[in-house]
Structure 1
Amino acid sequence: MNEPIFLQSVFQERIWGGQKLKQLFGYDIPYEHTGEYWAVSAHPNGQSIVKSGPYQGMLLGELWNSHPELFNSSSTVFPLLTKLLDASDDLSVQVHPNDAYAGAHENGELGKTECWYIVAAEPGACIIYGHEAKTKHELESMIAAGNWDSLLTKVPVKAGDFFYVPSGTIHALGKGIVVLETQQSSDTTYRVYDYDRKDKDGNTRELHLKKAIDVTSVPQAYQAVSYDTKEIENGVITTFVSNSFFTVEKWNVDGKASFPEAKQYTICSVIDGNGELSIDGQSYPLAKGDHFILPISSGDFQLNGKLELIISHE
Structure 2
Amino acid sequence: MEPLFLNPLFMDRIWGGTALKDKFNYNIPSKNTGECWAISSHENGDCTISNGEFTGMTLSHLWNNEKHLFGNVNGDKFPLLTKILDANDNLSVQVHPDDEYANINESGELGKTECWYIIDCDDDAEMIFGHNAKSKQELVQMINDNKWDDLLKKVKIKKGDFFYVPSGTIHALCKGTLVLETQQNSDTTYRVYDYDRRDNNGNKRELHVNKSIDVTTTPHKVPDNVYSKILDKSFELTTFVDNNFFSVHKLNTFGKCSFEHDKPFSLCSVLDGKGSLICNAKEYQLNKGCNFIIPATIDNFNLDGNLEMIISHI
TM over 0.5: yes
Q: Whole-Å Cα distance in 2 between the matches of residues 196 and 297 of structure 1?
A: 50
What's the counterpart of residue 100 of structure 1? 100
Summarize the alignment of residues 155-166 of structure 1 with structure 2, pairs less than 5 Å apart. Answer: 155-166=155-166
What's the counterpart of residue 83 of structure 1? 83
Q: Whole-Å Cα distance in 2 between the matches of residues 170 and 98 of structure 1?
A: 13
1:143-197 residue CA offsets vs partner (Å, 9 max, x unmatched): 0111011100001111100000000000000000000000001000000100000
Partners of 1:233 and 1:257 within 8 A in 2: no
What's the counterpart of residue 295 of structure 1? 295
Tell me, which stretches of 5 or more residues in structure 1 are unaligned?
none
Summarize the alignment of residues 1-314 of structure 1 with structure 2, pairs less than 5 Å apart. Answer: 2-72=1-71, 73-314=73-314
Tell me, which stretches of 5 or more residues in structure 2 are unaligned?
none
How far off is 1:76 after superposition?
Answer: 2.0
1:81-120 residue CA offsets vs partner (Å, 9 max, x unmatched): 0000000000000000000000000000000000000000
Aligned residue for 1:61, secondary structure, equals helix
How far off is 1:69 after superposition?
Answer: 0.2
Aligned residue for 1:54, secondary structure, equals helix
1:115-149 residue CA offsets vs partner (Å, 9 max, x unmatched): 00000000110000000000001000000111011
Bigger mean CA deviation after superposition, 200-209 or 255-264: 255-264
Aligned residue for 2:6, secondary structure, equals strand
Q: Which amino acid aligns with 1:78?
A: F
1:262-313 residue CA offsets vs partner (Å, 9 max, x unmatched): 3310000000101000111000000000000000121311111000000000
Structure 1 length-normalised TM: 0.99
Q: Which amino acid aligns with 1:135?
A: S
**Where does structure 1 differ by over 6 angstroms across 4 or more consecutive aligned residues?**
none
Q: Whole-Å Cα distance in 1 between the matches of residues 297 and 111 of structure 2?
A: 30
Partners of 2:133 and 2:219 within 8 A in 1: yes
Q: Whole-Å Cα distance in 2 between the matches of residues 257 and 10 of structure 1?
A: 31
Q: Which amino acid aligns with 2:219?
A: P
Partners of 2:263 and 2:313 within 8 A in 1: no
Aligned residue for 1:214, secondary structure, equals helix
The CA RMSD over aligned residues, in Å, is: 0.7
Q: Whole-Å Cα distance in 2 between the matches of residues 183 and 261 of structure 1?
A: 22
Q: Whole-Å Cα distance in 1 between the matches of residues 211 and 158 of structure 2?
A: 32
Q: Whole-Å Cα distance in 2 between the matches of residues 77 and 30 of structure 1?
A: 28
Partners of 2:266 and 2:313 within 8 A in 1: yes
Q: How many residues align?
A: 313
Q: Whole-Å Cα distance in 2 between the matches of residues 224 and 6 of structure 1?
A: 34
Structure 2 length-normalised TM: 0.99
Q: Which amino acid aligns with 1:182?
A: T
Partners of 1:261 and 1:297 within 8 A in 2: no
Partners of 2:257 and 2:304 within 8 A in 1: yes
How far off is 1:200 after superposition?
Answer: 1.2
Q: Which amino acid aligns with 1:45?
A: N
Q: Which amino acid aligns with 1:137?
A: Q
How far off is 1:32 after superposition?
Answer: 1.4
Aligned residue for 2:41, secondary structure, equals coil
Q: Percent identity?
A: 54
Q: Which amino acid aligns with 1:238?
A: T
Partners of 2:68 and 2:297 within 8 A in 1: no
Partners of 1:280 and 1:299 within 8 A in 2: no
Q: Whole-Å Cα distance in 1 between the matches of residues 113 and 168 of structure 2?
A: 8
1:180-233 residue CA offsets vs partner (Å, 9 max, x unmatched): 000001000000100000011100111100000000000001122110101134
Q: Whole-Å Cα distance in 2 between the matches of residues 301 and 185 of structure 1?
A: 26
